[in-house]
C-alpha cells in the first residue's frame, strides 16, 4: 500500500466549478505539502501545513491529523488551474514522499 493516496486520479471540470482533491496518508507526519506540476514539468509548492487550514487566493488546503487526511480545494476554477496536483508527506531524511498526483483539466 502506498503511503500517500490521492483521489481522484483524473478530474475534469467546467470553468467556475468548485474542485476538491483528496489525500490520505498512512504514517504520522509533521507536515503535508500540496504541490502543483505544470505540463512542462516544473513544480510549485502551494502549501505546507501541519494543522487546520490555509488559504491562498482561490486555493484552500485543510488537514485533519487524526484522520490522516487532507483536501485541496479550488474555488471558481479556471482553465489556467489545469495541472497535476500532488500531495506529499515528509520522509525520515527530510525528503518528500509523493502521491501519484491528480490530473486536473478545467474546460472553458
Partner 1 sequence: GAVVSQHPSRVICKSGTSVKIECRSLDFQATTMFWYRQFPKQSLMLMATSNEGSKATYEQGVEKDKFLINHASLTLSTLTVTSAHPEDSSFYICSASGITLALSSYNEQFFGPGTRLTVL
Interface residues with partner 1 (CB under 8 A) are: 30-31, 33, 35, 40-45, 48, 50, 86, 90-91, 93-101
**From the CB of 69, what's the least distance to partner 1, in Å?**
19
**From the CB of 18, what's the least distance to partner 1, in Å?**
26
CB nearer to partner 1: give 13 or 84.
Answer: 84
Confirm if 25 and 68 have CB atoms less than 8 A apart.
Answer: yes
CB nearer to partner 1: give 45 or 75.
Answer: 45
Which positions ≥6 away from 3 have C-beta within 8 Å? 25, 26, 27, 89, 97
Confirm if 13 and 104 have CB atoms less than 8 A apart.
Answer: yes
Amino acid at each position: 500500500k502506498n503511503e500517500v493516496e490521492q483521489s481522484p486520479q483524473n478530474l475534469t471540470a467546467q470553468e467556475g466549478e468548485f474542485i476538491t482533491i483528496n489525500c490520505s496518508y498512512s504514517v504520522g507526519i509533521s507536515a503535508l505539502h500540496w504541490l502543483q506540476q505544470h505540463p512542462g514539468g516544473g513544480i510549485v509548492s502551494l502549501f505546507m501545513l501541519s494543522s487546520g487550514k490555509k488559504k491562498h487566493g482561490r486555493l484552500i488546503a485543510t488537514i485533519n491529523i487524526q484522520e490522516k487526511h487532507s483536501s485541496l480545494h479550488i474555488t471558481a476554477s479556471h482553465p489556467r488551474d489545469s495541472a497535476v496536483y500532488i500531495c506529499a508527506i515528509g520522509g525520515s531524511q527530510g525528503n518528500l514522499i509523493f502521491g501519484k498526483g491528480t490530473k486536473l483539466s478545467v474546460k472553458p
